Amino acid sequence: MPEGHWSDDELIGRLYGVGPDDRHLEECPACVERWRALVSARARVLEAPVVSEELLTGQRQSMLRRLEVGAESAHHFSVAPGLAVAAVLLLGLLLSFPRPKPQPSLASSDNQFFSEVYRVVQSTEPVAVEPVHHLFEVEE
């Protein structure tokens, strides 16, 4: 062991029986003082708290009252699992039906579609200019 005082880790190790086992505590008053403070702190932590019988009886009665109230109100929640199962079954039934197939749009024919696509592709003007043309339309 190096010369000097024990570290906190060495004192704690000694407290739990795994620390150094030399005669340093017999020779060093500073380490003995820290050792005694550590031992007394551990003793305070390990002491059982003083609890009165009245406090324990009151806690026990409070817990029993809460358990009785919980048992009385438990029947209100027995419907919830049944409703959840019914909702899941209804959702599954609705999702099991096939979706209707989309109907083709009858608003324009193939010729109209291709002519509009051709007009957009062949135009040399940017698409963003088209709204400006509507500002200057001549009424007939």
pLDDT in tens, 3-19: 688 998 999 999 888 88
Residue 5 near residue 28 (C-beta atoms within 8 A) = yes
In a domain, 30, yes or no: yes
- Give the pair of three-digit tokens for residue 136: 């200057």
pLDDT at residue 26 in the model: 86
Q: Domain total for the chain?
A: 1
Q: Is residue 78 part of a domain?
A: no
DSSP 3-state of 57: helix
Count other Cβ atoms within 10 Å, centred on residue 89. 10
Is residue 19 in a domain?
A: yes
| Total Cβ atoms within 10 A of residue 87 | 10
Question: Residue 134 falls within a domain, yes or no?
Answer: no
Q: What CA–CA distance (Å, rounded) separates 91 from 84?
A: 11
Residue 22 counted as domain residue: yes
Distance (Å, whole) CA 140 – CA 94: 55
Cα gap 86→97, rounded to integer Å:
17
**46-90: pLDDT as tens digits:** 988 888 999 999 999 999 988 887 666 655 566 778 889 999 999
Integer Cα distance of 19 and 10 in angstroms: 5
Q: How far apart are CA 19 and CA 38, in angstroms?
A: 14
What is the residue range of 30's domain?
8-46
Is residue 103 in a domain?
no
Give the pLDDT of residue 89.
Answer: 94
Is residue 20 in some structural domain? yes
Does residue 64 form part of some domain? no
